[in-house]
Structure 1
Amino acid sequence: MKTDIKTRGIGSRRCRSLARIGLTCSLMLCLIAGAGGCRQDKAAKAAEPPPSRLVFPDHGIYTGAYIDFGDNEDAVTLDAIEDFEKLVGRHQAIVASSSFWGEQNFPRKSMEIISRHGSVPLLYWSPWDRPYVQGRGPDRFSLKAILAGRWDAYIDQWADQARQYGKPILVAWGLEMNGTWFPWSGHFYGGGRRLDHEAPKLYEGPELYKKAFRYVVQRVRARGADRLLFGYHANNMSIPYERWNRIWAYYPGSDVVDWLGLSVYGKQFNDGERWGTFHGVMDAAYRDLCRLDPDKPVILAEWGVGEFPKAGNKPQWLRDAFTAFADQYPRIKGAVYWHERWQNEDDTYSNLRVNSSPESLQVFREGLAHPYWVTQPLYR
């Protein structure tokens, strides 16, 4: 797979370079051209100005997807992206993947694959250690360790490589903090204990998260990585659903947030969970998120629903979503569908893929064909 991607990318660039100097574009001539042709092509590539600032569309919504990039959500391949686009019939303006802190690197290769394809990366940058098991609580990348400066060298190295990459990236740091499954959740850091009885809206868990968010973003920006756009990415449902754990409680401030993000899922597991309509899981969370800042663009940084015919109608759920996107959520500027199928511990499957059934795929393709979708990133 890696070899195929590399060969395809280099071959197409060589052909364009040779065509400009009047030679026949063929694989044999590309090979014969040898090192000199490669040097010319690299020089031409280096001379091209990289994309500048990503902007959100005044009208319409960016297409986007996470495309089942493996257990660590980082095995990005061009084949996977192209296959998904053929499946749904539209180019994806945003392609999402993860950068877990346990890997201790900046995923330059993945970012290059996505940007060369003509998409902008959305990177879930998660302070999470191997083996990446949910519900275990804080690990070595705890919020307290981050604030104590123990991971400054890693943050700086990651930021430096992002700056050297030089192209826009949407970054969601510490996502879905208002749940109980990730180790940076406020649930694990004092939860709803008040910091000051005279200020009842300040709670230990959310306040520590806000400090860590600000610390990381400000440190990255101080390294000159100014083409990163940081998002505040919450879950649609706060669990536990208590005042201290609401979406607004974790907001770190508009000076360190470039966009507002939301995970919105319908039924994901074949259990006793009831089937929820799209509006039922979307509307209240969208209103709460928009109240945080009147001007920030909103991205559905994750959205999807499983195929459970005995519980509910996935094609109708998708149809309702696409109908609503057209005119009911004017702040939404991007929507990233979570295209994945996985096996659960009880041997059941959760199939959120757009082609989980022929009917679901047909509805998805029809919905994505609407002209309000913007399929290419916009820059200025």
Structure 2
Amino acid sequence: MGKVNKDLDKDFKSVKKESITNFNKRWVIIIIGFIFIMLLGTILIFKTIKHDVQNWEICQNNYDGFILSYPKDWQKKIIPGVATILSKDGYIKLTIFVQPLDKVNAEQYILYSNRSINEGWGGIKLKSQKKINLFGYKAWQFDWIRTRLSPSDLNYYREFDVIIGKKVYTFMLKSDQQHFLDATKDLNNVFLTFKTIPAMVKPDFPSVPMVKREINIEGQHHRVNIPSGKTLWGILNPHKIGQIKYFDNLLPLEKQLDFKFQFLITYASLDTKFNQTELEQIYKDNRILMVALQPWWYGKKNDTSLIALIQGKYDFILREWACQFKNLGDPVFVRFGNEMNGDWSTWSAWYTGKDTDIYKMAWEHVYNIFKSEGAKNVIFVFNPHDRSFPNFKWNNYLLYYPGDKTVDWIGLTGYNNGTSYPGDVWRDFDTIYDPLYRKYMNNFPDKPFMITEFSCNEKGGNKANWIQQCFQHLSTNYPNIKIVVWFNQVDGKWQYNIDSSSQSFEAFKKGLENPCYHFQAIYSK
């Protein structure tokens, strides 16, 4: 019996070993077959791609570190260190951003950037969101649509957020309903040619030649003359929006400073109605006005009125403003949707799926209405904030620029916030404006500049010295800045007012005595 059991055991082990061997062989064959099929599929794909792309153009971005191919009939634009844009009119626009992950991880960056898509702001409808393996890369895919805003509007989107090391490569495609399927196939084909390379070049903003610019603007009743080497000072002083009533608080201040501010600014939201008599009074007193037209209902959270504005729902408001400004007959500066690169502005692309073209569509709509109403005296000012927030590539100010044809002046805005809040940093005047001026002069060399609003907080450093540096360097180091506007108000904990201390007030008063700033610029005809 023992021998029989041993023989059975031996036979069992032999059968078991043979079964395991056969099982392993089957799995090896299956795995090899699967790999073969995958390789064959890949080869077929690449053969197809090779056939399609053999006459494609090469796009090599040495700023962001990648190379790919794209169809020959597409246009290419590289904004150094910002974006690569590939497009074909009426069919596709593919924008590629390369975002280094310095202070956030990939998921934080992707979800924060796409919050408007997930929340459905501005008429966005999310079709799908998923994590995918994109030809061997970890990636997120978003598909969404939004309301079509014009016959040529591309309102169907697909986005790949590809995670490679400590960077996210975003491929944001948009097309229309008719061409979306073909466009997504092209996106896949383009991506199959994509590979990373070392980023060898950094955007360079060299020092610019000293520009000598004189400003002459003719109106019906007044003319503006800002000679070369001089800078016109303006002010944003406490006043009632719409009614304005600037002189109630302004005249006593001007008496103390022994200085007349010939350039005034105010704000307007969609619920603002201007008092025409008050507007006329400003010009009768040999002053001119700049209005920040902000496309929202004041104080409304997550307001995406920018979409409704493009659709024409607020044309009656825009036409009323245009007619009021036209009737003044003299120069009126308009900065539409200022600080669009800050997420505190509801006209930022953060609210519209990162698509800065929507802002540009709104700008063009406003511009065309003002021109159609004959408001030729209106001067349009493009005015980003000096620091984009979030400081992501898709939010760069250059992506919002409407174009030279509809922009007359370039506005600069940079504040020294001091240290009143956590995260605030004291910044000297030149620390803010020297790099900003160089960038803008390289990007907008043919436009006159103005500082549309700026100021210095009292807390965190020596405000009087800051003001002194500003007056010393403004007219000499920044000759293309022809107008500057001081924000003379307390804003929360930020003490931006001129008289935040006696030392600051005296420094400001002394600075205005400089002949570069103390001159007549507005003349009656």
The equivalent residue for 1:26 is none
- Say whether the 8 Å CA contact 2:297–2:303 is kept in structure 1: no
TM-score (norm 1): 0.75
For 2:367 and 2:414, the matched residues in 1 are separated by 25
Per-residue deviation, 1:158: 1.6
TM-score (norm 2): 0.55
For 2:416 and 2:426, the matched residues in 1 are separated by 7
Q: Which of 196, 209, 219 is 2:359 aligned to?
A: 209
For 1:328 and 1:351, the matched residues in 2 are separated by 26
- Say whether the 8 Å CA contact 2:319–2:370 is kept in structure 1: yes
User: Secondary structure of the residue that 2:289 maps to in structure 1?
Assistant: strand
The equivalent residue for 2:231 is 61
For 2:284 and 2:443, the matched residues in 1 are separated by 34
1:258 to 1:78, Cα distance in 2 relative to 1, 3 A: same
For 1:150 and 1:376, the matched residues in 2 are separated by 42
Per-residue deviation, 1:56: 4.3
Indicate yes or no: 2:516 matched with 1:369.
no
Indicate yes or no: 2:448 matched with 1:279.
no
For 1:303 and 1:289, the matched residues in 2 are separated by 17
The one-letter code sitting in structure 2 at the alignment partner of 1:75 is: I
Is 332-341 or 285-294 further displaced after alignment?
285-294
Indicate yes or no: 2:371 matched with 1:221.
yes
For 1:276 and 1:313, the matched residues in 2 are separated by 11
Per-residue deviation, 1:255: 1.0
The equivalent residue for 1:88 is 257
User: Secondary structure of the residue that 2:271 maps to in structure 1?
Assistant: helix
RMSD, matched Cα? 2.1
User: Secondary structure of the residue that 1:109 maps to in structure 2?
Assistant: helix
The one-letter code sitting in structure 2 at the alignment partner of 1:302 is: E
For 1:262 and 1:239, the matched residues in 2 are separated by 16
The equivalent residue for 1:354 is 498
More strand as a share of residues: 2
Indicate yes or no: 2:293 matched with 1:143.
no
The equivalent residue for 2:277 is 109
For 2:451 and 2:442, the matched residues in 1 are separated by 16
Residues 319-338 of structure 1: pairs in structure 2 closer than 5 A:
319-338=468-487
The one-letter code sitting in structure 2 at the alignment partner of 1:83 is: P
Per-residue deviation, 1:106: 3.5
For 2:462 and 2:489, the matched residues in 1 are separated by 18
Indicate yes or no: 2:287 matched with 1:119.
yes
1:281 to 1:53, Cα distance in 2 relative to 1, 3 A: same
Per-residue deviation, 1:74: 5.5
The one-letter code sitting in structure 2 at the alignment partner of 1:355 is: D
Residues 169-208 of structure 1: pairs in structure 2 closer than 5 A:
169-191=332-354, 204=355, 206-208=356-358
Indicate yes or no: 2:469 matched with 1:301.
no
Deviation string for 1:205-225 (max 9, x for gaps)? x21111111110121111101
1:292 to 1:59, Cα distance in 2 relative to 1, 3 A: same
For 2:414 and 2:319, the matched residues in 1 are separated by 32
% identical aligned pairs: 27
The one-letter code sitting in structure 1 at the alignment partner of 2:352 is: Y
1:242 to 1:316, Cα distance in 2 relative to 1, 3 A: same
Q: Which of 454, 466, 474 is 1:317 aligned to?
A: 466
Per-residue deviation, 1:296: 1.1
The equivalent residue for 2:269 is 100
- Say whether the 8 Å CA contact 1:99–1:107 is kept in structure 2: no
For 2:242 and 2:506, the matched residues in 1 are separated by 26
For 1:312 and 1:291, the matched residues in 2 are separated by 31
Residues 23-38 of structure 1: pairs in structure 2 closer than 5 A:
none
- Say whether the 8 Å CA contact 2:488–2:498 is kept in structure 1: yes
- Say whether the 8 Å CA contact 2:458–2:500 is kept in structure 1: yes
Q: Which of 319, 327, 341 is 2:490 aligned to?
A: 341
Deviation string for 1:150-207 (max 9, x for gaps)? 111221122122212222111111101011111111221112xxxxxxxxxxxx1x21
The equivalent residue for 1:251 is 401
For 2:302 and 2:349, the matched residues in 1 are separated by 10
The one-letter code sitting in structure 2 at the alignment partner of 1:294 is: P
1:329 to 1:208, Cα distance in 2 relative to 1, 3 A: same
